[in-house]
C-alpha cells in the first residue's frame, strides 16, 4: 500500500461539522489491486506525516467492510485500523 494523502476526520454535532478532530483518514493506493484507492480511518492523534508524493505503509488491526450504497447501488469499502507504520523500501 502506498500512502498518498492524510486528512483530518472531524466530529459532527447535530449534523454539522465541529472544529474537533476525532482522528485521521489515511488515503492509500493498493498496488496489488491496480492502484485502487482506499481510505483508512484511525481515531486519535496523527500517527504519520506524508513526506513524499507517496510512501509504502502497513496497517495494524486493519478492518475493512463492504457496503452497498442506497444512492447509486454501487459497492464501496469502509476501513478502520489501530495503527499505521511506514515500510522501508527495498533497494534494487
C-alpha 53/C-alpha 81 separation (Å) is: 22
Number of domains in the chain: 1
CA distance 92 to 85: 22
pLDDT computed for residue 23 by the predictor:
97
Residue 92 has pLDDT above 70, yes or no: no
Q: Which domain holds residue 68?
A: 2-86
Q: What grid cell was written down for 2? A: 502506498
Rounded to 5 degrees, φ, ψ at 31 are -60, -45
In a domain, 37, yes or no: yes
Give residue-wise pLDDT tens across range 8-65. 999 999 999 999 999 999 999 999 999 999 999 999 999 999 988 889 999 999 999 9
CATH number of the domain residue 19 falls in:
2.40.50.390
| Nearest to 2, CA basis, from 47, 42, 38 | 38
DSSP SS3 for 15: coil
What is d(CA 14, CA 18) in angstroms, rounded to the nearest whole number?
A: 10
> Is 92 within the bounds of a domain?
no
Amino acid at each position: 500500500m502506498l500512502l498518498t494523502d492524510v486528512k483530518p476526520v472531524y466530529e459532527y454535532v447535530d449534523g454539522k461539522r465541529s472544529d474537533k478532530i476525532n482522528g485521521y483518514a489515511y488515503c492509500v493506493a493498493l498496488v496489488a489491486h491496480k492502484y485502487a484507492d482506499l481510505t483508512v480511518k484511525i481515531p486519535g492523534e496523527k500517527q504519520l506525516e506524508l513526506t513524499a508524493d507517496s510512501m509504502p505503509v502497513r496497517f495494524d488491526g486493519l478492518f475493512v467492510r463492504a457496503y452497498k450504497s442506497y444512492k447509486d447501488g454501487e459497492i464501496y469499502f469502509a476501513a478502520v485500523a489501530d495503527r499505521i507504520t511506514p515500510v522501508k523500501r527495498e533497494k534494487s
